[in-house]
Structures are given as C-alpha cells and as structure tokens.
Homo-oligomer: A and B are copies of this chain.
Amino acid sequence: MPSHEQKVAVVQAYIDAFAKGDPAAVAALFAPGASVEDPVGTGAHVGHDAILAFYTESMKTGAKLKLEGPVRTAGDYAAFAFSVSLAFKDTARIDVIDTFRFNEDGKVVEMRAYFGPNNMQGM
C-alpha cells in the first residue's frame, strides 16, 4: 500500500496539474481501468480515454484548486477538502471533497468528488 507521503504527493500532483492546465498530467495519476465520479451521483468516467476527456473538458473552466486543511489518509484512501476558483468568473467558489482510492503501485483506481449546487457560490 502506498504510504501517507506517497498519497499526499499524488494529491499535490493533481492540484499542480490543474494549476498548469495539464489534463494529461492528471490522467497519468490514474490506473488504466480507473473510475472518476465527479460529482458523485452523475455516473462514472471509466478508463484512461474517458478520464483524459473528462479532465480536458473540466480544465476549460480554468479551474484552480486550493487545499483546505490537511490530506487525510486511511487504508487505501486519501480524502481532501479544497476550494475551486474559476478563471472566467472571479467571484465563483466551489467547495469540494475528493476521495482517491489507490492500488499497490500508487495509482488512483477510484476518484469520487463530493459537491453540489449548494456548494457553489458567486456563480
């Protein structure tokens, strides 16, 4: 199982990839058959191509992520709270919590994002 530090490094790489607007760098954090459900309740994007397409689309908003508190790790998982700002609407803020499940190689096999309309301000 990846260590706390390895999981935190993947979370940081995820945030850094948004900062750079690099969807391929995000997709590279995931195992080939991984699933991404963002937000939870909308159905999963499964596999590298679907995940890359999803993040390519997401990053068109200019979304930047800021950690809000420490990354929590437990078992195969990391969970982290963050806020999102959007390039096209500087008053906007979205509050999100993500969970990542990792495989033995430190790749993300399942990502779930928790947020809804009530977590969006200034849109």
By a beta-carbon cutoff of 8 Å, the part of chain A in contact with chain B is 4, 39-42, 68-70, 72-81, 95-97, 99, 113-119
For the complex, what is the distance from the CA of A114 to the CA of B7, rounded to whole Å? 13
A41 CB contacts on chain B under 8 angstroms: 74-77
Instruction: Report the minimum CB–CB distance from A83 to chain B (whole Å).
Output: 8
Contacts A79-B97, A81-B81, A97-B97 given; does A116 touch B73 at CB 8 Å: yes
A78 CB contacts on chain B under 8 angstroms: 114
For the complex, what is the distance from the CA of A16 to the CA of B121, rounded to whole Å? 26
For the complex, what is the distance from the CA of A76 to the CA of B28, rounded to whole Å? 29
A119 CB contacts on chain B under 8 angstroms: 70, 72-73
